[in-house]
């Protein structure tokens, strides 16, 4: 069994493109949520989102890619190019048969679907693009990453709603740990901010309607929360076996040591309020990483800002840790980024390894009113400096999909 480390990261998010801008924004509690500009949101109950600002794909991608591919694939390619550059990998010297890609999305090419369906209705089937299907399907993010960089190892897409990229990172971890692959590019991407998707989530009554205060709309664990805020973007991690990383003198952000998954088998959108299945995912990740309860310093919560999720996740953490739950720093970065759906777990995994590296816990912003059912330490409103050895990241998705990933501060002797 191999130790698995994170040697490169890349992000495209509503609070920043590129790891430096992103990390600075989170440490400062900056917010990326605003009124939707991609279409006129006036008829919608929720008119706010976490849009990516200033995205210029031509900085890293060629014209053909930009013209033919859906935005979720462009985000994936861009953050992957960043992560590869960050990792210092020499692509010319790698055994490409032992470099894989496991990449996720919850929805895939939603904007392409809307655009091409409109063409079909207004102009007929002859006007539908020949690139429609390749731009739409979720696996094409992984496929295009492989084609762009030449990776010939394990390659597939993962779909499990808001847990999608958590499963992608977890499965990648297992394949590198087992020795099946030396390196895997893992992550998730989402570009769901079209009228149809927003209308669907509005109809499901999932979204915040705090339209007059977009930057205060995502308020995980706060008593005034009224739903999550949809966002877009991507996060990519380079997972590498420690021997390979050491051999090439790579910079190591942190180590991934555990992966646990379960399903509620309960409801299509609501969490199981007993918390038992979600607690099982957390316990499995800790068992997988040989982690004791007293060793966990930080939990990056799923923390969506919905009534049911936040009180259930609080209950879950208490089930797993008992009275010690009150001693652990917890935070939800969705208070600043919004909810990136299938990309969120990858982005939050990156937050975990940066927190381990720098000894900083990013805050849960917009935390103003105590909810008696959410009474843990959510690191309210300001970042905290703290030496962190073990961090967990939770993701819970529609369909009852639960994932917990466990990260450890890298130590040579570990």
Among the candidates 247, 274, 300, a domain finishes at: 247
In a domain, 413, yes or no: no
In a domain, 361, yes or no: yes
Together in a domain, 293 and 189: no
In a domain, 253, yes or no: no
Residue 260 to residue 316: CA distance in whole angstroms:
14
Q: How far is CA 386 from the centre of its chain?
A: 23
Together in a domain, 53 and 81: yes
Residue 217 to residue 368: CA distance in whole angstroms:
12
Q: What is the pLDDT of residues 325-371, one digit of tens each?
A: 999 999 999 999 999 999 999 999 999 999 999 999 999 999 999 99
In a domain, 193, yes or no: yes
In a domain, 414, yes or no: no
The token pair at 2 is 């191999």
Please say if the pLDDT value at position 271 is more than 90: no
Domain count, the chain: 2
Together in a domain, 202 and 274: no
Mean pLDDT of 284-300: 98
- Beta strand 48-49 with 298-300: parallel, antiparallel or unpaired? unpaired
Residue 125: CB atoms within 10 Å: 7
Residue 408 to residue 327: CA distance in whole angstroms:
18
Lowest mean pLDDT among 271-280, 290-299, 316-325: 271-280
Among the candidates 209, 228, 247, a domain finishes at: 247
Residue 20 to residue 29: CA distance in whole angstroms:
14
Mean pLDDT of 53-61: 95
* DSSP collapsed to 3 states, the chain: CCCEEEEEEEEEECCEECHHHHHHHHHCCCCCCEECCCCCCCCCCCCEEECCCCCCHHHCCCHHHHHHCCHHHHHHHHHHHHHHHHHCCCCCCCCHHHEEEEEECCCCCHHHHHHHHHHHHHHCHHHCCCCHHHHHCCCHHHHHHHHHHCCCCCEEEECECECHHHHHHHHHHHHHHHCCCCEEEEEEEECCCCHHHHHHHHHCCCECCCCCCHHHCCCCCECCCCCECEECEEEEEEEEEHHHHHHCCCCCCEEEEEEEEEECCCCCCCCCCCCHHHHHHHHHHHHHCCCCHHHCCEEECCCCCCHHHHHHHHHHHHHHHHHHHHHCEEECCHHHHCECHHHHHHHHHHHHHHHHHHCEECCECCCCCEECCECCCCCECCCEECCCCEEEEEEEECCCEEEEEEEECCCCCC
Together in a domain, 163 and 311: no
Whole-model pTM: value is 0.97
Q: What is the pLDDT of residues 7-43, one digit of tens each?
A: 999 999 999 999 999 999 999 999 999 999 999 999 9
Q: What is the pLDDT of residues 76-122, one digit of tens each?
A: 999 999 999 999 999 999 999 999 999 999 999 999 999 999 999 99
Together in a domain, 233 and 336: no
Residue 48 to residue 78: CA distance in whole angstroms:
25
The residues annotated with a catalytic role in the active site are 162, 302, 339
Q: How confident is the model at residue 272 (pLDDT cuts 50, 70, 90)?
A: confident
Residue 314 to residue 325: CA distance in whole angstroms:
9
Please say if the pLDDT value at position 221 is more than 90: yes
Task: Count the alpha carbons within 13 Å of 81 in the hemisphere toward its beta carbon.
Answer: 17
Together in a domain, 361 and 399: yes
Together in a domain, 360 and 334: yes
In a domain, 67, yes or no: yes
Q: What is the pLDDT of residues 367-377, one digit of tens each?
A: 999 999 999 99
Q: How confident is the model at residue 414 (pLDDT cuts 50, 70, 90)?
A: low
Share of the chain above pLDDT 70, in %: 100
Together in a domain, 207 and 315: no
Residue 78 to residue 411: CA distance in whole angstroms:
30
Domain that holds residue 333: 258-408
Together in a domain, 266 and 241: no
Q: How confident is the model at residue 273 (pLDDT cuts 50, 70, 90)?
A: confident
Cα–Cα distances in angstroms (integers) from residue 345 to residues 58, 59, 195, 226, 314, in the given order = 26, 26, 24, 22, 18
Q: How confident is the model at residue 395 (pLDDT cuts 50, 70, 90)?
A: very high
Among the candidates 247, 274, 291, a domain finishes at: 247
* Rg, C-alpha atoms of the chain: 20
In a domain, 102, yes or no: yes
Q: How confident is the model at residue 232 (pLDDT cuts 50, 70, 90)?
A: very high
Strand partners, 185: 101, 238
- Name the average pLDDT for the chain: 97
Q: Are 408 and 254 in contact (CB under 8 A)?
A: yes
Together in a domain, 221 and 276: no
Together in a domain, 210 and 62: yes
Residue 229 to residue 306: CA distance in whole angstroms:
10
Together in a domain, 263 and 172: no
Please say if the pLDDT value at position 178 is more than 70: yes
Q: Are 225 and 307 in contact (CB under 8 A)?
A: yes
Q: Are 374 and 316 in contact (CB under 8 A)?
A: no
Q: What is the pLDDT of residues 295-332, one digit of tens each?
A: 999 999 999 999 999 999 999 999 999 999 999 999 99
In a domain, 240, yes or no: yes
CATH code of residue 384: 3.40.47.10
Please say if the pLDDT value at position 64 is more than 90: no
């Amino acid at each position: 069994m191999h130790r698995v480390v994170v040697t490169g990261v890349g992000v495209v998010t509503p609070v920043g493109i590129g790891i430096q801008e992103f990390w600075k924004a989170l440490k400062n509690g900056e917010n990326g949520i605003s009124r939707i500009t991609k279409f006129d949101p006036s008829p919608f109950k929720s008119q706010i989102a976490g849009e990516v600002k200033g995205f210029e794909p031509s900085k890293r991608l060629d014209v053909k890619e930009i013209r033919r591919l859906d935005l979720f694939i462009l985000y994936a390619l861009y953050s992957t190019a960043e992560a590869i550059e960050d990792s210092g990998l020499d692509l010319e010297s790698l055994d490409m048969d032992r470099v894989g890609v496991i990449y996720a999305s919850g929805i895939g090419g939603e904007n392409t679907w809307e655009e091409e369906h409109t063409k079909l209705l207004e102009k007929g089937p002859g006007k539908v693009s020949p690139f429609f299907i390749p731009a739409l399907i979720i696996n094409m993010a992984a496929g295009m990453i492989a084609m762009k960089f030449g990776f010939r190892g394990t390659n597939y897409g993962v779909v499990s709603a808001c847990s999608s990229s958590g499963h992608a990172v977890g499965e990648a971890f297992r394949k590198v740990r087992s020795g099946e692959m030396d390196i895997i590019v893992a992550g998730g991407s989402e570009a769901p901010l079209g009228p149809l998707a927003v209308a669907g989530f509005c109809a499901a009554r999932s979204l915040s309607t705090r339209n007059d205060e977009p930057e205060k709309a995502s308020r995980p664990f706060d008593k005034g929360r009224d739903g999550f805020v949809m966002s877009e973007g991507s996060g990519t991690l380079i997972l590498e076996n420690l021997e390979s990383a050491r051999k090439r003198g790579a910079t190591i952000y942190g180590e991934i040591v555990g992966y646990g998954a379960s399903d509620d088998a309960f409801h299509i959108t609501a969490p199981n309020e007993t918390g038992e299945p979600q607690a099982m995912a957390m316990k499995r990740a800790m068992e997988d990483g040989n982690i004791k309860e007293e060793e966990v310093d930080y939990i990056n919560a799923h923390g969506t800002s919905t009534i049911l999720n936040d009180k259930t996740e609080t209950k879950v953490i208490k089930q797993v840790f008992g009275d010690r739950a009150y001693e652990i720093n917890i935070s939800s970065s969705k208070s600043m980024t919004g909810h990136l759906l299938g990309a969120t777990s990858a982005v939050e995994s990156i937050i975990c390894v940066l927190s381990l590296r720098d000894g900083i816990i990013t805050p849960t912003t917009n935390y103003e009113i105590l909810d008696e059912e959410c009474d843990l330490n959510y690191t309210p409103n300001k970042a905290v400096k703290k030496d962190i050895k073990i961090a967990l990241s939770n993701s819970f998705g529609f369909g009852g999909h639960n994932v917990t990933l466990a990260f450890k501060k890298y130590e040579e002797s570990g």
